[in-house]
Amino acid sequence: MKTSTNFIRRDRLAGGLYGLLIGDALGVPYEFHPPQAIPEPHEIEFMPPPDFHRAHIGTPPGTWSDDGAQALVLLRSLLERDRLDVDHFAQGLLRWADEGYCAVDGRVFDIGIQTSNALSALRRGAPADRAGPSGERENGNGALMRVLPLALWHRDSDEELVALAMRQSLPTHGHMRSQLCCALLCLWGRAELEGRRDAWDWGVQRLRALASADWGDELARILDPANATAARGTGYVLDTLWSARRCMDAAEDFEAAVRAAIRLGNDTDTTAAVVGGLAGLRFGRFGIPQRWVQGLRGSELLEEVIPRLLDHGSPRAPKHTGSARTSETHPLSIATLALGTKPGRVGITFCPGKKQTNAITGAWDRDLCADLERIRDWGAKHVVTLIEPWEIKALEVQELPSACASLGLVWHHAPIQDGSVPDEQWEARWAAIEPVLLSALDQGHGVVVHCKGGLGRAGSIACRLAIAAEDVTSADGLIERVRSVRPGAVETRVQERAVFEWVQRYNRQS
């Protein structure tokens, strides 16, 4: 489904940047090895198996290389100048090479030969848009590997995106082939950001529609389907692009995509950086394994840039200012999802009684009993809490179980990590809870599900209940139905995918 909420877009934007950096860092220790020497997929981690002779042995696991650093240089330049200023970008590249700007620990390694030559030309005073070597044999993947942040940042026409993608290539890679590969990757990335299922084909179609006479035969060369059979994960720009397509075509999730890229061998960090960025867009930030997010070094370099990217690419609603919102000033709102085949209904809301002084949307100072009374008066007999134990404490709602009991509400605790989806432990717990809730719905009782903000986890589990209670055949239709009563519900891409998987699972069981 195409991206339809601000929350999904933000999830994809963060996923694109994290995915690029994580893919790069994962690929670093496997670089320069032929495919037959690469470990099995399940063994590919930041730290390779003990018997593997890893590249860049002095580099701590989880460190991105020149790919990630140059991508951050580009993104920071775009955010600081609010446009593509190729001279400013080129100076940033020199700062990276000479000072370690945007490099983890300020340490620069793995600079490509062509990029090194271009930087030398810049130091000698060459104009930024003519510094990159432009011979046909000078089509390495150094511009392609860094260009995706442009697609994350850019919000205007496809025509301008193509022009800017080609222009950012010029400081290091001047040949038309490199420029057009960058343009296609940005269009492909835009399609992934929008949630198009035909993302590659859409990008190809748009590039053809925008074709210029001065591109010569290069467009036909880069779009030749024969490139697919020759994808080998090398440092040649065309090979990198088509290797990425090969990996993305077979990708079931982020993990499989980047591991497939590394399994191609050769220029593993760059292939995995390109694939990781695209897979991060497709599967979202919460579709990236948490161990890789936590194991990525250099997180301090992202503390400022990630929020700026998200606010630029997908601005939030204005934050509530003034006094904290209370149960009196802002009575608990319960979105109602009617079930066609059952007399009961499902309610979706945020955490009753929560207290937050630094919430993204503004401060909360709610009354737990007042909120639960509103839930009871709505018609609920059951309350399903999806927040984790630490969140219960942080939101100061430790009395939730006893307060529910005092009002005749049956309380169920089925915690899910924020932004994520149920795991095996949750499924085991839910197997006992779901029949009770379905029975209540059969009897015409209400079931209220809540998380912290009442969007991601609560919206997802509302979908799960509807799937179990009804004959749901369209996940798209169900998600839109839930969002029609609770705008923004089902908040991340991984949650959307879970709804699709649940529809398939329940249909098979029935």
pLDDT confidence of residue 1: 52
Residue 482 is predicted with a pLDDT of: 97
Cα separation, 61 vs 502, whole angstroms: 36
- 110 is known to lie in a ligand binding site: no
Inter-residue contact 510 to 503 (CB < 8 Å): no
Is position 439 annotated in a ligand binding site? no
Q: Residue 214: what pLDDT?
A: 86
Q: Tell which residue, 222, 278, 262, has the closest CA to residue 71.
A: 278
Residues near 444 by beta carbon (within 8 Å), at least 6 away in sequence: 343, 344
Helices 268-283 and 6-27 cross at an angle (nearest 10°) of: 160
Supply the pLDDT for residue 460.
98
Mean pLDDT, residues 438-463 taken together = 97
Encode pLDDT of 211-247 as tens digits. Answer: 998 898 999 999 999 998 878 999 999 999 999 999 9
The continuous run of DSSP H or E covering 347 comes out as strand 345-349
Task: Give 25-62 pLDDT, tens digit per residue.
Answer: 999 999 999 999 999 999 999 999 999 999 999 999 99
Cβ partners under 8 Å of residue 244, min gap 6: 185, 261, 271, 274, 275, 278
Nearest to 146 by CA among 48, 41, 17, 247: 17
| Domain ranges for the chain | 8-313, 335-508
Number of Cβ within 10 Å of residue 280's Cβ equals 33
Give the whole-angstrom CA distance, residue 138 versus residue 115: 10
Phi, psi of 180 (to 5 degrees): -70, -35
With a cut of 70, say whether residue 3 has pLDDT above it: no
Nearest one of 30, 7, 63 to 301, comparing CA atoms:
63
Mean pLDDT, residues 68-91 taken together:
98
According to the annotation, is 115 in a ligand binding site?
no
Q: Which fold has domain 8-313?
A: ADP-ribosylglycohydrolase fold (1.10.4080)
Residue 371 in marked binding region: no
The pLDDT value recorded for residue 82 is 96
262/268 Cα distance (integer angstroms): 5
Cβ atoms within 10 Å, residue 364: 20
Average pLDDT, the chain: 95
- 51 known ligand binder: no
Share of the chain above pLDDT 90, in %: 90
CATH 1.10.260.40 corresponds to the domain 335-508: no
pLDDT of residue 174: 97
pLDDT at 464: 98
What's the Cα-to-Cα distance from 217 to each of 211, 214, 459, rounded to whole Å? 11, 9, 50
CA distance linking residue 186 with residue 150, whole number of Å: 7
Percentage of the chain exceeding pLDDT 70: 98
Res 15: pLDDT:
97
98 is in an annotated binding site: no
Which tens digit of pLDDT belongs to each residue from 355-397? 998 777 889 999 999 999 999 999 999 999 999 999 999 999 9
- Is residue 325 within 8 A of residue 363, CB to CB? The reply is yes
Distance of CA 17 to the CA centre of its chain: 8
Q: pLDDT tens, 416-450? A: 999 999 999 999 999 999 999 999 999 999 999 99
- Segments of 357-428 assigned E as strands: 364-365, 380-385, 410-413
pLDDT at position 510 is: 66
